[in-house]
Chains A and B, each alone.
Chain A
């Protein structure tokens, strides 16, 4: 047996494996890059300050004018409300499941989170439609869309927060207990800060997911063409819905607007991601920086 050189067979296997991995990487990147490329290429035409600051009020379909401001505002408000409710709620649920949950109740909650995880978005929309609008008699509004979106974000946020909390080493909790720190303070001051970067990332993934949801919004938001800053009454616009509607049109002016709106949506999601990374970096365990 020789200790000097790797055998030719092992070398060949290594080369083959490297080639296969490289190929897989390229194949996985093709759709991603081509989507980005197409959206940037086609969306750049209409994407400008005017587009970002004007609505579609009094703009005829064939006119090469108008913008997505009403839709951007609507989406930011709808997603903002959904996130503002979901983040604290899912944080509390995840803390309960990881730190306190034992027995039947915890099992039931875990089960429902799993079920909600697989809930099709159109079903969430239909549920709010039948419960909130047909049942309780409210009108379509941004808030109705928020309700459907928070149903979709909740399981993602709970599950990812749960995973992050479970990753915090029991040794840290014990270190804190051994200093005579009560359990709740240990959770707030030691466990949460340690898990924070991961939690923030998980929340952002949840937000990014609901930001592009079209189906529930389609049923609930009313698709206004003009600016409505009040999510609690009257129809609002929405970015994914705007993209959908414009792309259904056969007129080139409308299709261009659709691409520009799609580009806007991608940029907003990317900005949010960047923001999350900044927070994660800023709050990361100091040694990891």
Chain B
């Protein structure tokens, strides 16, 4: 069940350092939204506030509101663990569990959360691996270690692992930056398919990738080191790339800085 994300007045801190300031944006269900911007402008931080992963780091703090449909994720009585079950995440470096087989990696979200029942799990594992376009490559070696796969396959394994718990939203932090061009294309194709079922937010350093996979693009920037990152603009992707409304966006996209 894809859901809408509504962010308003969001700031996030590492200790006393404010990393992002006053971010407001909306992500529609069943769309892909790309976050672009120079390194250190807070793309990852914004992404991690969306599923409350930011607070996993000691000393961090968040202000503002993140609504998932009509639930305030930072509201009183909200369990961050449950939030993360609803909003899945894929990281920059593929990070399958090294002690687990391919099968166990995909089933990890279910098993670690105490879901039992073998036949159910078999079905979900197959469905998730098919969903991640990995089934045909691994169906004969499900019991082999997940770490034995290539980097691109590992990343698709991580995507399968993330969708196996049927989240509403999928967050991806530069999921292709450690991959070769072929694996990158495989992931991009996959994103285009996943869009039919999930709300997707993807951070990318690759402008062409943002143009290829996303419906909406958000451009973030910082004024200087030590200053908090800000959202410059968010708009339909073709518009951002053809004629952005902000000068800074145009400079960044045309490669004049960043």
Q: List the interface of chain A (C-beta within 8 A of B).
A: 102, 169, 171-182, 185-186, 189-190, 193-194, 196, 283, 285-288
Contact = CB atoms under 8 A, between A and B. Distances in A.
Contacts of B108: 176, 179
B88 to A, nearest CB: 7
B165 A286 contact: no
Given A102-B58, A177-B53, A171 B93 contact: yes
Contacts of B86: 180
Given A179-B84, A179-B88, A190-B97, A185 B147 contact: no
Give me the 8 closest cross-chain CB pairs, A-B, nearest first. A180-B85, A286-B145, A287-B147, A285-B98, A178-B89, A179-B109, A180-B84, A287-B145
A175 B158 contact: yes
A180 B165 contact: yes
B112 A181 contact: yes
B95 A175 contact: yes
A286 B113 contact: no
A286 B85 contact: no
A182 B99 CA distance: 19
Nearest to A283: B99
Interface in B56-95: 56, 58, 81-86, 88-89, 91, 93, 95
Interface residues of B, number: 35
B91 A171 contact: yes
B95 A179 contact: no
Interface string B157-178: 0100110010000000000000
Contacts, number: 89
Most chain A CB within a 10 A radius of its CB, from B88, B89, B97, B108? B97
Given A179-B113, A179-B161, A190-B99, 20 more contacts: A169-B95, A171-B91, A174-B56, A175-B96, A175-B97, A175-B158, A177-B53, A177-B56, A178-B91, A179-B165, A180-B83, A180-B109, A181-B81, A181-B109, A182-B81, A189-B111, A190-B97, A190-B112, A194-B98, A194-B99
Contacts of A174: 53, 56, 91, 95
Binding site secondary structure of chain A: helix
A194 B53 CA distance: 22
Contacts of B109: 179-181
B237 interface: no
B128 interface: no
A188 to B, nearest CB: 9
A179 B91 contact: no
Interface in B174-202: none
Contacts of B33: none
A169 B101 CA distance: 18
Given A285-B145, A285-B147, A287-B147, A180 B82 contact: yes
B114 to A, nearest CB: 8
Nearest to B52: A177
A180 B91 contact: no
Contacts of B111: 189
Interface in B214-252: none
A31 B84 CA distance: 57
Contacts of B83: 180
A228 B144 CA distance: 50
B51 interface: yes
B15 interface: no
B162 A178 contact: yes
Contacts of B148: 286-287
A236 B184 CA distance: 68
